[in-house]
């Protein structure tokens, strides 16, 4: 993979405080080096979105949310955050269907959430991935296909949808798929989008235990457009190190 326009999306999950916004300074400086032709996107908790937007105002780093409500506007949904509200804060992206949220979200609801985000012109990062039990039962492809086709149902233009392939067994475990499996599964996702006449140029990322040690090997895989990074992205030094190693 070349380092041209590769995505580094930081998913901070339920971590971070107002103070931790300061840790973006070094990443902002680093993002300006010419050799790094990456797109850096931070998805902090809702409570920090505005701080992140303000902090990164004069940089090319963009900000997103980690989920949104299925209703795009306003309404009597206590605790809900709509795509309109994310946009209002300056967010440009939203992660939808992360495995840590799929217990409360079936594919139908994920499809509604994607539609709500697109109606507000947000970019969507749709997470898909098999559980360990699916992998053991050789069901990876059928799981990925179902998540893709049901999640993207009735959507014609996927130009604002990025797919993040995140095997559930790889998230936060330190275990990543073999190069061969990863290449095969990413190709399968691309083919599924093609066969179902979905937008074929969709960016496809890998997520799951990406760190400064495995990034070089992951960069060897041709058909990946970037990475969704959880734990390692909350430490500025490690996050920068990952990006550095992606270009050397
Ligand atoms: C994630 O939560 O999307 C993720 C990839 O986490 P981690 O990098 O910590 O495995």
Q: Is the CB of 208 under 6 A from ligand 1?
A: yes
Q: At what angle do helices 140-151 and 179-195 cross, to 10 degrees?
A: 40
- Per the prediction, the chain carries an average pLDDT of 94
Say what the pLDDT of residue 1 is: 66
Task: Note the pLDDT tens digit of each residue in 92-146.
Answer: 999 999 999 998 999 999 999 999 999 999 999 999 999 999 999 999 999 999 9
Q: Is 98 a catalytic residue?
A: yes
Better-predicted residue by pLDDT, 194 or 169 = 169
Task: Give the whole-angstrom CA distance, residue 49 versus residue 28.
Answer: 16
| Active-site position among 98, 100, 130, 236 | 98
pLDDT at 29 over 70: yes
Q: pLDDT at residue 157 above 90?
A: no
Confirm whether 166 is a catalytic residue: yes
pTM passes above 0.85 = yes
116 lines ligand 1 (CB under 6 A): no
């Amino acid at each position: 993979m070349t380092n041209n326009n590769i995505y580094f999306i930081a998913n901070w999950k339920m971590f971070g405080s107002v103070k931790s916004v300061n840790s973006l300074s070094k990443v902002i400086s680093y993002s300006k080096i010419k050799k790094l032709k990456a797109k850096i996107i931070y998805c902090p908790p809702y409570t920090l979105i505005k701080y992140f937007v303000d902090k990164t105002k004069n940089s090319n780093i963009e900000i997103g949310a980690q989920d949104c409500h299925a209703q795009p506007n306003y309404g009597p949904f206590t605790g809900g955050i709509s795509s309109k509200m994310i946009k209002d804060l300056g967010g440009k992206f939203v992660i939808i269907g992360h495995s840590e949220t799929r217990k409360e979200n079936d594919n139908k609801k994920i499809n509604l959430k994607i539609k709500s985000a697109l109606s507000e012109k947000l970019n969507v990062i749709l997470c898909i991935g098999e559980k360990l039990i699916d992998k053991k039962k050789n069901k990876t492809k059928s799981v990925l296909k179902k998540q893709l086709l049901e999640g993207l149902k009735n959507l014609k233009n996927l130009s604002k949808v990025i797919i993040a392939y995140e095997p559930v067994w790889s998230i936060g475990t330190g275990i990543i798929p073999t190069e061969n499996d990863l290449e095969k599964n990413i190709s399968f996702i691309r083919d599924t989008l093609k066969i179902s006449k979905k937008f074929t140029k969709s960016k496809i990322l890998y997520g799951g235990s990406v760190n400064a040690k495995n990034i070089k090997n992951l960069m060897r895989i041709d058909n990946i457009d970037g990475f969704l990074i959880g734990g390692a992205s909350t430490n500025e030094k490690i996050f920068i190190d990952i990006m550095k190693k992606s270009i050397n």
